Chains A and B, each alone.
Chain A
Amino acid sequence: MKAVGPAVVASDIRKSYGSLRAVDGVSFSVEQGEFFGLLGPNGAGKSTTLEIVEGLRKPDSGSVRLLGESPWPRNPALLRKIGVQLQASSFFERLTSKEQLETFGALYGISKSKAVDMLELVGLTDKANVQDTKLSGGQRQRLSIACALVHDPEIVFLDEPTAALDPQARRNLWDVLRAIQQRGKTIVYTTHHLDEAEILCDRVAIIDSGRIMTMGPPAQLVRALNAQTQVIIEHGVVPAELATTLPGAEAVVDDGVSVTISTSDAGVTIKALGELDALSNAQVRTATLEDVFLHLTGRAYRE
């Protein structure tokens, strides 16, 4: 039976290491079934925040509730309801994929048959009898996530699951993450890929220097910027001088390949371009979470 109320509530948690305030008053809550992202550059305090929420570390102050219960001190009943993937892939030595899953399952009293389901979920059925050292980076991450899910937890915490993966492996992993959400799990994950979070997450919190800068659905955060939209058309279709006179157009750059029209009202600009029959091969670029980060911190985002 599922608990009523939010899956995760963190209230004003703080953690310092010496003079470094790794987590400096972070509060957020995650609803059940929600896909929540903690974003920010390396060293922003995402992992420490996640570790406090999981119950691995005791906060200096503040409180955490998972499904209404405190994860600290260690709470074995609650541990059955959460699944955790740590940054290192924490496998037992020299076991095959299937044996890893069976062993992790047994820690929770789960029968061996579940291992086969999990391999299928993460697309590693054909790697069942392969040891973890012979898997690719992406396969290891998927196995690691499967190990976090083997006991069918309600909340899944994933620490940087897509770090150090090539683009194809990242996209494969996205499919896995979406499949997990469709099973009704609550997912809390950290990433430094803002673009990825924008695609996957229902809501994100952007963290920098141990504080939450902003929080909300990615689209809403981007929209709140009121940033200009860029409409890019082929060079030579519309002369730059004409483009500057289009409705909504505020700045025009012609680099000899494309003409980039910055507009605060993309709708009317595009409509006008349509009337000029200038929209073939046109691209529209809107602001992203990176622009949100830039706006909030005054510095460009560096992964």
Chain B
Amino acid sequence: MTAFTSLSLAMFKASIRDKAALALTFFFPLMFLVVFAVLFGGGMGSSVKIAVVGDGQVVSTLSQAEGVDLVRFDESGEAIDQLRDGDVGAVVLAQGDRVDVRYANGDRPETAPALAKVSEAVASANAGASNTTPKYAMRQEPIEAAYAPIQYLTPGILSWGVASAAVFSSALTLVAWRRKQVLRRLQLAPVGRVSVLTARLAIATGISLMQAVLFVAVATLPVFGLQLSNDWWLAIPLLVLGTFAFFSVGMLTGAVCQTEDSVSGAANLVVLPMALLGGSFFPVDKAPEWVKFFTNLLPLKHMNEGMLDVLVRGKGIDALLVPGAVLLGFTVVISVFAAVFFRWEDA
């Protein structure tokens, strides 16, 4: 066996024998996936709850409209209370031909769709009441098929899981090897530094790919129902480049940290904010411009975007260009810093 393969094997065994790291690497992202998939239920905002008091043509149109859950009340006070508690998106008070709508102050996400549904119902009731065919008709159709939340969640959480495992495991190896003088012992063996580094990187990459396989396998189960695009394999180069980028972050973290405990803190400090701001768990498209400026500097943001493009949006190889370039550039810059801060032994 060559030094490279034996070191790779040793590192692989160390990885799979570490129960805590295994949980962090494989189980944790899956748990996030399950939790988010359950939270966002059968689709974000796919149907809206509207309270009604009274009856009439509008109400009966509304009751037949798609994506509307009607809740009937006998008196308006009760319905308004439900609105205050956020249980319904709007309250419709129908009396004869008159339709009053009440909605909550503040920027509640369910307000706009609820009002839109009511306007639609009013319009369609008007159309039905007149004898002429309406002159203007609107037909709506989304440009993309309606995505279940799993389609958006999988790429982001997978990217986060890969990033977090790559940073943690490489930083922990570096700190442990420095503390236990394995680094110095390797200095005194006729093995090149490049072999040691590439062996570790190969293991990190292998683990990322294993994470992806497991993760996608679970997400495509009927329960979750992920639909992969035809060009899903374009995710592989992205996973590899992402691993390189976050491996270099791990090397920098390991170079700076003295102990394994400080690695845990530092790695969390790096990865978690990046995951939140980079849109791994929820979209950040609606963030203010100045926040977007910062999120665009985050490699994880670009990895998320790239994964989303190739895994579910069905985009081609062009979609890899920007994320690939960003990840590669990031790898180079961070590696330089890691090399500068690298130490063979504890001071």
Contacts and interface: CB of A to CB of B under 8 A. Distances in A.
A76 B193 CA distance: 12
Contacts of A99: 10, 13
B64 interface: no
Most buried by A among B173, B185, B191: B185
Nearest to B192: A76
Interface string B5-47: 1110111011001100000000000000000000000000000
Nearest to B5: A106
B182 A91 contact: yes
A104 B13 CA distance: 15
B188 A56 contact: yes
A84 B176 contact: no
B180 A107 contact: no
Nearest to A103: B10
A103 B185 contact: no
A171 interface: no
A95 interface: yes
B1 interface: yes
Nearest to B193: A74
B190 A91 contact: no
Most buried by B among A84, A87, A107: A107
B179 to A, nearest CB: 7
Contact of A90 (B5, B10, B184): B184
B131 interface: no
B180 A90 contact: yes
B2 interface: yes
Contact of A95 (B13, B179, B186, B190): B13
B259 to A, nearest CB: 14
Contacts of A104: 189
A103 B190 contact: no
A106 B3 contact: yes
B6 A102 contact: yes
Given A94-B13, A99-B13, A103-B6, A108 B184 contact: no
Interface in A49-101: 54-56, 74, 76-77, 79-80, 82, 84, 86-95, 99
Contacts of A94: 13-14, 17-18
B47 to A, nearest CB: 51
A84 B188 contact: yes
Contact of B176 (A77, A80, A93): A93
* Chain A interface size range: 20 to 34
Contact of B190 (A80, A84, A86, A88): A80
B174 to A, nearest CB: 12
B296 interface: no
Contact of B14 (A55, A84, A92): A92
Contacts of B187: 56, 74
B119 interface: no
B181 interface: yes
Interface in B60-110: none
Contacts of B186: 107
Contacts of A55: 188
B6 A86 contact: no
Interface string B109-135: 000000000000000000000000000
A82 B18 CA distance: 33
A208 B96 CA distance: 106
B264 to A, nearest CB: 16
A87 to B, nearest CB: 7
Interface of B: 1-3, 5-7, 9-11, 13-14, 17-18, 173, 176, 179-182, 184-191
Interface of A: 54-56, 74, 76-77, 79-80, 82, 84, 86-95, 99, 102-104, 106-109, 112
19 contacts: A79-B188, A84-B185, A86-B185, A88-B180, A93-B14, A93-B18, A94-B13, A94-B17, A95-B13, A99-B10, A99-B13, A103-B6, A103-B10, A106-B1, A107-B186, A107-B190, A108-B189, A108-B190, A109-B3
Given A55-B188, A107-B6, 7 more contacts: A54-B188, A79-B189, A80-B190, A84-B188, A88-B180, A94-B14, A95-B10
